[in-house]
Amino acid sequence: MVVDDSAVVRGLICRQIDAEPDLCVVASASNGEMALASLRRHPADVVVLDIEMPIMDGLAALPLILAEWPHVKVIIASSLTRRNTAVSMRALQLGASDCVGKPEAGNNNYTTEDFNRDLIARVRALGAAAKESAVRSPPAKSAPPPLRAPASPGAGLKPEIVAIGGSTGAPPVLIRLFESLKGRVTQPIVLTQHMPPVFTALLAEQLARAGGRPCAEGRDGEAIEPGRAYIAPGGWHMLVERHGGQPVIRLNQDPPENFCRPAVDPLFRSLAQAYGRGVLAIVLTGMGCDGARGCEAIAKAGGRFAVQDEATSAVWGMPGAAAKTGLAERVLPVTGLAQYIAQVTETGL
């Protein structure tokens, strides 16, 4: 279902989705109130929801949708203004599965083609997850036992840096992790989250508040310091290089990897080269396989990585792909990941 007060935007999004052979739009609506009524007549797996609408806006409709249809996945689609992005981030905390930014004229970092690609990929991945959650029996939701890979060369050593990669469903998980790790991790944290410009800046602000540590978008040439967190800016790959022994951030606009920019793999590969055994990497919920090859590079260099488990992931694409390498040290729920990161960074064990 597509919910947007603009008939033009509704039409464009509906045509994009209906053009895919495995997807179809069951209904559309111009505000949240109409969406709720329409969902009762036309069940949907995914709702593409605008923020600013008359009568009932997206933020008001979201909790009502999730309360009546818990399996439905909601994708927030809003223009890339700071205000709308802030509201979209709030929607993620209220249970929305993901958000995409509507492109604006003059923004070459996020085009109409980017929007269409991102939206279709999310509708497809979240639609599959919604169907699975609708039929899943309660026992299947229990987390599998933690997995322990053979000890890596980095085991027993405190890591020098923590790296995190995530996509669909990861922002709320990141906030929970930063809250749980507040005051505990002294190492720098670098992270790549699949998000367009503006979103990554606001996510950094939220993580700074949640974790009580400075967190901002990385800047090209910026030195990496202990106790700080750096997030790849939307539209840019973020890497880490050493210059005279000092690790610094490098940004580039090389072609997307795994259809993403920023992508996790370039960051992880650069860390394997810059830190070797000193890397602890975490892969969070997200669609696709971004991060798996980077994790292999980290493990080959003697570093360590763990992934979020399927039961607590919105989409077990990225963590599942990394786990299937057979090199993950742990497969853990969100709370377990926080404990694992704290233990490894404090003791090396």
Question: Is the distance from CB of 27 to CB of 38 less than 8 angstroms?
Answer: yes
Active site annotation includes 98: no
Three-state DSSP at 229 gives: strand
Q: Which are the contacts of 88, defined by CB distance < 8 A and separation ≥ 6?
A: 51, 76, 78, 96, 99, 199
Strand-pairing partners, residue 3, are 29, 49
Reading the block at residue 254, the tokens are 């090389």
**From CA 292, how far away is CA 265, in angstroms rounded?**
7
Q: Which of 38, 88, 97, 167 is catalytic?
A: 167
DSSP string computed for 148-174: -PSPPTTTTS--SEEEEEE-TTHHHHH
Q: Which residue among 4, 50, 118, 290 is the active-site one?
A: 290
- Which of 4, 78, 194, 237 is catalytic? The answer is 194
Q: What CA–CA distance (Å, rounded) separates 262 from 170?
A: 15
- Asked about 290 being catalytic, the answer comes back as yes
CA–CA separation, 315 vs 335, rounded Å? 17
Outline where DSSP puts E strands in 118-245: 161-166, 189-193, 215-217, 229-231, 237-243
Is 137 a catalytic site residue? no
What is the set of active-site residues?
Answer: 167, 194, 290
